[in-house]
Amino acid sequence: MRSLPLLVMLLCMLCAAQVQTQESTNTLKLCGRALLRAVVYTCGGSRWRRFMGEEETLPEVNREPNLLKWTEMQVMERQLRDQNMALMRTCCQEGCRRSDLSMLC
């Protein structure tokens, strides 16, 4: 009777170790040119070709510049760049998965 809970606990520990091993094998340490190639490979699927074929019509733009919208967009673009740089730094130092690379698309 005492061995059954011990067996269940050991089985759970074995499963957890297997999951950790799989996660570490799925991560890739990529820097510089290798990182760029991996991002191009990950992002360069058929969806980009579909977007290239579609022409978007731009709405008529109000001639008066909206400074508030412009500054908000600048802040959002800067935050996105910072997030991308942090992800690229993490990929180089610790490694990242393909799903992480797809966030750079």
- Model confidence over 6-50: pLDDT tens digits? 667 766 666 666 655 555 568 889 999 999 899 888 888 655 555
* Residue 81 belongs to some domain of the structure: yes
* Cα 99 to Cα 31: distance, rounded to the nearest angstrom: 16
pTM: 0.51
Q: What sign results for the dihedral spanned by CA atoms 83, 89, 92, 96?
A: negative
Strand partners, 96: 28
* Residue 84 belongs to some domain of the structure: yes
Question: Structural domain tally of the chain?
Answer: 1
* Residue 37 belongs to some domain of the structure: no
> The domain containing residue 86 runs over which residues?
67-105
* Residue 38 belongs to some domain of the structure: no
* Residue 96 belongs to some domain of the structure: yes
